[in-house]
Structures are given as C-alpha cells and as structure tokens.
Structure 1
Amino acid sequence: MTTPTGPPRDLVGYGAHIPKVTWPDNANIAVNIVVNYEEGSEYSYAAGDCENDVLGDSGYRFPAHVRDLAQESMYEYGSRAGIWRLLRLFDELHVPATFFGCAVAFEKNPAVAACASRAGHDLVSHGWRWEEHWRLSRDEEREHIRLAVESFEKTWGSRPTGWYCRYGPSVNTRELVVEEGGFAFDCDAYNDDLPYFTTVNGKEHLVVPYSQTYNDSQGSKNPSEFLDYIKRAFDELWLEGERGFPKMMSIGLHPRLVGQAARTSALREFITYAQHKGGVWFARRNDIADWWSTHHHDFPLVDSLRASC
C-alpha cells in the first residue's frame, strides 16, 4: 500500500507556551460567526450527481438510486427562508458574520451574495461546489479553485482571500491554495483556538482554524442543547481571556438548520448574552486574519504557569 503524501503533522503547536494575544479593545475573546452557505451546490440528482447528499434535517435515507425530493427541499429551506432570517438577525443585533460560501450556491441564488456583501459580511471560499476535495485529482482541484474564484467575483463582487474545504482538505489543497496566489489564509484545520503560521513549499502561510465542535450540525440539533454548548464554550474561553490568555471561537451555522425559527431563537439568545457580558470582539474571519498578521506575526510565547507540564 502506498503511503499518501501531504503535509507533516504537528501535534505540538503552541503547547504550554501560550501566545500573549491582544484583541481590539483588549477583548477577552474573538467570536467569529460562520454561515456555511451550501444550498444548491450539494450532491443531488437534480445537479447531475448519482447520489443524494445526507446533511439536511432528516434522519431518513433514500436508497442511493432514488432521487430524494424531501432532502432537496430541506436544503431549499435554507436558501428560501433560513438565510434571510439569519441576515435579519445579524442586522438587528449589529453583528458581522463570515460566509463560507460555495460558488455554485451563490450562482443559484445571487441575491444572497449581493445582500450579504452589501451588509458588510465577509467571504471565505467554501469551494466551487460543496464537494469533498479528496475525490478530486490535483488538476481537477486546481481547476475547481479557479472556477470558484471566477464565480465569486461575479456574484459577491470580489474574490475571497480565505479558503475552506468541505470536511477538510485533500493532501494537495493547501499547496494549491498557496500556489493560486490570492489567498491570505485558509481555515482547513481544527487543531487550535488561535491562528498560526505554517510553511508551504518554502512560503509562510497563515491558518485560521475552524471548529466542528461549536457547530449547529452537531448533536441532536435541539435549540437548548446548541445554546448550552456554545454558551459554555464562550464562558470558558472568556474566562481564559480574563486571566490573560485570549482565544478565538468559531461558531458554525447552516441556514437550513439554524435558520429554522426555534434554532434562530437560540442563536439570538447567545449573541445577546455575549454582548451583554462584554469583553467580546465579534469579528469577521478576514478581520481576525488581518489582525493576527499585523499584530501577532512575531510575538513572544509566554510560559503558562497553569499548564500541565
């Protein structure tokens, strides 16, 4: 068996030497709300695929050879209703968000891209389609990255400077993202609570890790459980910041899931709670990347007396 190529693993990271981070206004925590806009770009027979996607809002699975109209309509809810509910909420509470957008999804509903862009939210490429990049050859993946950038320039009005794959990258993704030349960072990692620099083919590259943990697709999707989970995470990370070691928190959302009214209510409660507590920087992902590159490119690592060594 041939061993797959790809980047080496790093199981050490910052370790016990925690970066002494300073966020704007000395915030204890940076919170990035991420809207994964995928609706219309998922696998479906309607799109010419030979399979149904499975991450709608149903536990029922059709046979592989049968078109699942119910699952398709659950995705449609996200683009027809859920996304607009979320955009209204962000506008009401004056909270910026990041769109992990799939290019084809915006092509199917360009009004979403236009509205989100006008509202001041930012864009990270979530691919040409909502597809698993490990299925693609290196040349196919390079071409899909090109198609995505070209598409976003038309729908969003500008190209994205960040990248994120469905389910994480292939062994080629990071090299291709750096090779493309227009991406300042990627989010294809789940291994830290802070950004970090790595080296790709001799070039320095910024990684702003994402989280599947604080994500509306986890667990039972019960609104109370979702609220409890992200609130507990926020409180613990906020406390770490209060003690001198601020972190960042990514909250992953999907319009077809959290765009349902009951779950939007839970999201509203969380945002309001965090705003009232204070000491929080609600930031777009590009803002975090720019801040890190400007203020924390070279900084001392502080030995944490509380770390287990």
Structure 2
Amino acid sequence: MERDFVGRGPHNPLERWPNGALVAVNVVINVEEGAEAAWPDGEGNDAWGEYGIPIDPAVRDLGTEGHFEFGSRVGIWRLVRLVERFDVPVTFGVCARALERNPPFAAWLRASGHDVLGHGYRWAEVTAMSEDEERADLEHAMRVLPGLVGRPVRGWYVRSFPSERTRRLAAAHPDLVYDSDAVNDELPWWTEVDGRRWLVVPYSKVHNDTRYFLAPTYATPRHFAETLIGAADFLLDEARHGAGARLMTVGLHPRWSGQAARAAAVRDFLAHVAGEPEIALVHRDQIVDWWTDLAAGGVGSD
C-alpha cells in the first residue's frame, strides 16, 4: 500500500454539496457492545472499558463487561432519543455479533431509515489476525448484517486501524463499495484495488469520543462539545472563504457518549449544527451516492 502525501493539494473538486450545503456532517454511532472480547465467549478480557486498571488475564473483568453492557442497555437508547429529537440521519457502524445480542435495538434499526456501516462480526483487532481469520470475520458479518438490518450494507471499517490486507479483502466482497478505514483526508477519494475502482470515505479519530480516554483527554463533556462545535464552525468559515465543500465525521460510542453527562455534549453539538442552514447532517450512504454521481459527471473523480 503506497503512501500519498499530496492528495488534492490546494484544490477542492466541488464548491457545495449537491443539496446546497457547504458542510456535510456525518455522525457515526459505533455499536460494538457484545462483540468485544469477554470471558463468556472464551476470548479473555477486553481493554476498552471505562478505566485503565490492569486486570490479570487469568481473572474475569466484570467491571469492563459491565461498562459494555451499559452501552447496549442504556447508552444506545439515550443516543437514539437524541437522534429522534433532532431528526437527524446518522450512520450506525455495527458489529454483527453486537446486533445479534440486542434484538430490541436491531428491530429499531431495521425499522429506521439510518444507514449501516459494517464494523466486523467481532470487535477485534484485525492486525492481530491472520488473513484467513480476517476474511472469515468479514464474510461472517456480511452474511449476518443484511438480514438483521433489512437492507444492503455497502461500507466497511475495522476496530482501531486496518491491516495491510483490509482494503483488499473488503474490495473483494461483491456487496461492498467503500471503506472508512482511512484517516488521511476529510473528503472522499478514489483508488483502485485489484482492478476494481474503490471509494474511500475517511473516518476521524479526532472528532471522536475516544478522546475522553486518549491523552490529551477531555476534562469535561463541555470540552468535547466545544471541540465539535469549533470544528464545524471552522469548516463552515473555511468553505465560505473559498475552500470548497467540507465533510466532518463524528465518532460516538454508546458506552461512552451514552452516559448522561457526555450525552449532553452530543445534544449541544446537534442543536448547534441542526440550526445552521449551510450545514447538512447526512448519513454515509448519502455521501457515497453523491460522490459516485459527481465522479460520473467528471467531478471528484481523482
């Protein structure tokens, strides 16, 4: 996989999004709870709970298991209520095993108009897998997810960061058309994988609630809200001054942003951007369709 330090340089392929917005904001809610490593599944303990206290691998970590359960029992519904309150389209990045274990949420998602981004069958580091293991996890998820959500799943991204083979394995699947494992840009870009034209819609590890736990951390949820609001305002100002249409991705997790105080940051951000006429809240499938149509017209074709 070759590195690209140039991208589009100073050029932006479009002035506004097809719906007239200067800034498109895509909120991605990561549904991972129940797909993480846990003792009942014979997989040991996971490390992404609410605290960093080291637990002997020979001892079951009931504390971390409880934090994940909070996300699926309480946190996801708090975020759902915010999504419904502000009537915003979002993307749910779903681990298939997590959805299997939460039938009420699976039923809500199936009945909703929100799009779904494949996030693995298990929530596990693909860089620790063999190629056969990573392929099997992808294929298992892509067998299960469309039936659970009642519609096609067209995009893929993995836990943390991809392996060197992740994009190749995703592009080999006939139902997938894009991945979101890149963090090297804000706008989508095209590449070629084994002769197939492939779209990359970048994700963000910065506009992401993982920053509550990764230094420098947010001392309060207000700092997260200020970060997101500041980014959206800057992108809008940038676009108004000729930089072209912008895309902002926000990553949320039910076990973290579903906590009451942290949910306030999500509420304040949604209230801010939902009231700005030149900012559009969109889902990822919409971005994919727009960029594909633009490329067909010779715009944004890279």
TM-score band (shorter)? over 0.9
CA contact 2:110–2:148 (8 Å) conserved in 1: no
Shift of 1:60: 2.0
Shift of 1:134: 1.4
Aligned residue for 2:137?
144
| Equivalent-residue separation in structure 1 for 2:39 and 2:110 (angstroms) | 30
Report which stretch shifted further, 133-142 or 96-105: 133-142
Q: State the Cα RMSD in Å.
A: 1.5
1:1-309 equivalences in 2 (<5 Å): 7-50=1-44, 52-218=45-211, 219-220=217-218, 222-244=220-242, 245-297=244-296, 298-299=298-299
Report which stretch shifted further, 145-154 or 279-288: 145-154
Shift of 1:114: 1.9
Counting aligned pairs with the same residue, the percent is 41
CA contact 2:15–2:22 (8 Å) conserved in 1: no
2:223 counterpart SS class: helix
CA contact 1:97–1:283 (8 Å) conserved in 2: yes
Shift of 1:58: 1.6
Report which stretch shifted further, 200-209 or 56-65: 56-65
Shift of 1:138: 1.5
The one-letter code matched in structure 2 to 1:168 is F
The one-letter code matched in structure 2 to 1:276 is G
CA contact 2:22–2:245 (8 Å) conserved in 1: yes
CA contact 2:93–2:119 (8 Å) conserved in 1: yes
Shift of 1:65: 1.8
Q: 1:170 to 1:300 in 2, by over 3 A?
A: closer
1:87 counterpart SS class: helix
The one-letter code matched in structure 1 to 2:196 is K
| Equivalent-residue separation in structure 2 for 1:252 and 1:217 (angstroms) | 8
Q: 1:121 to 1:221 in 2, by over 3 A?
A: farther
Q: Runs (4+) of structure 1 moved beyond 4 Å? A: none
| Equivalent-residue separation in structure 2 for 1:208 and 1:21 (angstroms) | 18
The one-letter code matched in structure 2 to 1:104 is R
For structure 2, list consecutive stretches of 5 or more residues without a partner in the other structure.
212-216
| Equivalent-residue separation in structure 1 for 2:10 and 2:37 (angstroms) | 42
For structure 1, list consecutive stretches of 5 or more residues without a partner in the other structure.
1-6, 302-309
Shift of 1:238: 1.0
Aligned residue for 1:305?
none
Shift of 1:45: 1.4
**How many residues are aligned here?**
294
CA contact 2:294–2:300 (8 Å) conserved in 1: no
Output one character per residue of 1:224-272: Cα deviation in whole Å (capped at 9) or x when no partner: 1100111111111111222231110000000000001111111111111
| Equivalent-residue separation in structure 2 for 1:221 and 1:215 (angstroms) | 14
Shift of 1:207: 0.2
The one-letter code matched in structure 1 to 2:28 is V
* Superposition TM-score, scaled by structure 1 size: 0.91
| Equivalent-residue separation in structure 1 for 2:220 and 2:64 (angstroms) | 19
Output one character per residue of 1:131-154: Cα deviation in whole Å (capped at 9) or x when no partner: 111122222222111100111123
Output one character per residue of 1:44-97: Cα deviation in whole Å (capped at 9) or x when no partner: 2122113x2121222322122211101100010000000001111111110111
2:210 counterpart SS class: coil
Q: 1:141 to 1:295 in 2, by over 3 A?
A: same
| Equivalent-residue separation in structure 2 for 1:93 and 1:17 (angstroms) | 34
2:53 counterpart SS class: coil
| Equivalent-residue separation in structure 1 for 2:110 and 2:224 (angstroms) | 27
Shift of 1:300: 7.0
Output one character per residue of 1:115-144: Cα deviation in whole Å (capped at 9) or x when no partner: 023121110000011011112222222211
| Equivalent-residue separation in structure 2 for 1:147 and 1:220 (angstroms) | 36
The one-letter code matched in structure 1 to 2:269 is F
The one-letter code matched in structure 2 to 1:287 is Q
